[in-house]
Amino acid sequence: MKKDRFMEIVRFCIVGGLSLIVDCGILYGLTDFFGVHYLYSAAISFTASVIFNYWLCVVYVFKGAKKQTPKQATIFIGSSVVGLGLNQICMYFFVEIILLHYMIAKLGATVIVTLWNYVMKRKAISG
Tens digit of each residue's pLDDT (9 = 90 or more) over 22-56: 999 999 999 999 999 999 999 999 999 989 988 88
DSSP annotation of 37 reads -
Q: Please, what is the end-to-end C-alpha distance for the chain in angstroms?
A: 20
- Residue 75: the pLDDT is 79
Cα–Cα distance measured from residue 71 to residue 82, given in angstroms and rounded to the nearest whole number = 16
- Contact between residue 53 and residue 67 where contact means Cβ atoms under 8 Å apart: no
Tens digit of each residue's pLDDT (9 = 90 or more) over 76-112: 788 888 999 999 999 999 999 999 999 999 999 999 9
- Residue 65: the pLDDT is 63
- Residue 127: the pLDDT is 56
- Contact between residue 53 and residue 19 where contact means Cβ atoms under 8 Å apart: yes
For residues 17, 65, 78, 56, the Cα torsion angle rounded to the nearest 10 degrees is 30
Tell me the pTM.
0.85
